[in-house]
Chains A and B, each alone.
Chain A
Amino acid sequence: MKYVLMFAETEEFATRLEAMDELEREAAYEAVMRWFAENSGKITHHAHLAPAHTATTVRLDGGEPVVTDGPFVEGKEVVSGYAEVEVADLDEALKLARSWPACPVVEIRPIA
């Protein structure tokens, strides 16, 4: 089955990342690279997104499309990247999500 793991950051996590020194940040990135390398057989596609303040939202539910600055939901948790994975079932996807070494929230969605 195919799933998308959506990685979400929290303000707290961003602050912590900000406060890291060069070496710590390098180690954090390395852990992420290692995770992708170790699971490369299951990951079919992945991307890191630019920060939420670069988002632009288009609303089509009114008459004319309305373009606004920012993400479509303002919240404490912001999607910062995703990985599409191909695994046997939800348990295997959960196992991948559990071992994710970076941002603190992962949402798992099956691809319809």
Chain B
Amino acid sequence: MSGPDGGRGSREALARVVREHAGRLAACLVSLLGDFSAAEDLVQDAVETALRRWPVEGVPDRPDAWLLTVARRRGLDVLRRETNYRAKLAQLRWPEPGKGDDRLRLIFTCCHPALSPEARIALTLRVVCGLSTAQIAAAFVVPETTVAQRITRAKRKIAVAGVPYRIPAADELPERLGAVLAVVYLLFNEGYLSSTGDRAEARDLADDAEWLAALLAGLMPGEPEVAGLLALIRLHRARGAARFDSHGRLVPLAEQDRTLWDHAAIAEATAALTRAARAHRRPGPYQLQAAIVACHAEAAGFEQTDWAQILVLYDMLLAVAPSPVTRLHRAVALRYVKGPAAALAELTGLEETLSRYPLLHATRAELLRALGDTSQARISDERALGLTANPAQQALLHQRLDPAHGDVRCG
């Protein structure tokens, strides 16, 4: 398959191959050994060996069998004293005949609420997506030792505290699924929304998030929120090409070149969302957020956006998942339905809870500018600038504070 050139494209292809197989192998080994931590160590070892050797030797014809062989050999070596494990490993056939996809159990264990949120993310990436510790560290811009510690601690807790390896019972499922979806959504946000385009070396976590959401959607077809999250991710990504200009600057929604959007992907994601919503009639936060993004994605131009519909969706979203940030976004929609003065009035109630949130001040600035109060608008823009660490947002705000460009929208 890929040769020894080692460029970014082939590195990504490599990561994709690993991702397809690492989680399956981990699931199989956890079931076989009954020891999450030991199984995971073996898979990680095989993954690291693959990442080292495949760029030189090329990807083998059967990557899954290759990974298994390395993991088994390593297992027979390191588990020398565990005769029980050795016997089990020696008998392992691959692929396991007649066995379904066990990765769902793996995901629920990795995203167990008894683990810290950071550990859930790191574990999911490593165990389910087959990322190496170094890749996770690079993606989150934290030292590798920090990630390694998080994973070690989490694995110890799984073993000692008895975190189960199974899909939760029906009465626990809604809450536990919520925790899983939150991990996937966070990954997506990390990779997509806060990406500035200057971390070309880092792995694209948005890709892993979409892959995870698609995996979950395939394994849990009866859960509309999973379909909702997948649609949400795909709708965002379908517009990815228009988000940055040629200088790497963030382009606000109103100014994006909509011909760059992937309209086929938008139509497909919207159709999937509609199907899930109609089949189950259980709206939830991810379906509603996806529906809002779909409204934007389907509008021929910014001026043609169906703001009234978006406002209705925000009201539904606030009913199922109240949050000050959602109220802020609703205020933006309200601007285009009832005017900037009405929207500004909505912000007053949010100032205390969101005082450290840059988008509140940036939105306030836009509304004030629309109402002709440029001096107050500047003050709000400056506050937003002081609060954001995101270089793309900073660039946009600087541009707005420059008197030559008065009316650039954020977000």
Q: What residues of chain A have their CB less than 8 Å away from a CB belonging to chain B?
A: 1, 3, 88-91, 93-95, 108, 110, 112
Interface bits B257-271 vs A (CB < 8 Å: 1, else 0):
000000000000000
Minimum Cβ distance to chain A for residue B255 (Å): 49
A residues near B172, Cβ cutoff 8 Å: 91, 95
Q: Is the CB of B168 within 8 A of A110?
A: no
Cα-based distance from A112 to B162 in the complex (angstroms): 11
Q: Is the CB of A91 within 8 A of B164?
A: yes
Cα-based distance from A105 to B114 in the complex (angstroms): 15
| Dominant SS among interface residues on chain A | mixed
Q: Is the CB of A89 within 8 A of B164?
A: yes
| Dominant SS among interface residues on chain B | loop
Q: What residues of chain B have their CB less than 8 Å away from a CB belonging to chain A?
A: 112, 114, 160-164, 168, 172
The 15 sampled A-B contact pairs (Cβ below 8 Å) are A1-B162, A88-B162, A88-B164, A89-B163, A90-B114, A90-B161, A90-B162, A90-B163, A90-B164, A91-B163, A91-B164, A94-B114, A110-B160, A110-B161, A110-B162
A residues near B114, Cβ cutoff 8 Å: 90, 94
Q: Is the CB of A89 within 8 A of B160?
A: no
Cα-based distance from A94 to B168 in the complex (angstroms): 12
A residues near B163, Cβ cutoff 8 Å: 89-91
- Across the A-B interface, the 5 shortest Cβ-Cβ residue pairs: A89-B164, A1-B162, A89-B162, A90-B162, A110-B161
Cα-based distance from A1 to B163 in the complex (angstroms): 11
Cα-based distance from A94 to B164 in the complex (angstroms): 11
Cα-based distance from A108 to B164 in the complex (angstroms): 15
B residues near A90, Cβ cutoff 8 Å: 112, 114, 161-164
Cα-based distance from A110 to B162 in the complex (angstroms): 8
A residues near B161, Cβ cutoff 8 Å: 90, 108, 110
Chain A's closest residue to B112 (CB) is A90
Minimum Cβ distance to chain A for residue B384 (Å): 37
Q: Is the CB of A112 within 8 A of B164?
A: no
Chain A's closest residue to B176 (CB) is A91
Q: Which of B114, B162, B163, B168 lies at the interface centre, i.e. has the most chain A CB atoms within 10 A of its CB?
A: B162
Q: Which of A3, A89, A90, A112 lies at the interface centre, i.e. has the most chain B CB atoms within 10 A of its CB?
A: A90
Cα-based distance from A93 to B112 in the complex (angstroms): 14
Cα-based distance from A90 to B164 in the complex (angstroms): 7
B residues near A112, Cβ cutoff 8 Å: 160
Chain A's closest residue to B163 (CB) is A90
**Further 10 A-B residue pairs, CB within 8 A, beyond A95-B172, A108-B161, A110-B161:** A1-B162, A3-B162, A88-B162, A88-B164, A89-B163, A91-B163, A91-B168, A93-B162, A110-B160, A112-B160
Chain B's closest residue to A93 (CB) is B162
Minimum Cβ distance to chain A for residue B34 (Å): 12
B residues near A89, Cβ cutoff 8 Å: 162-164
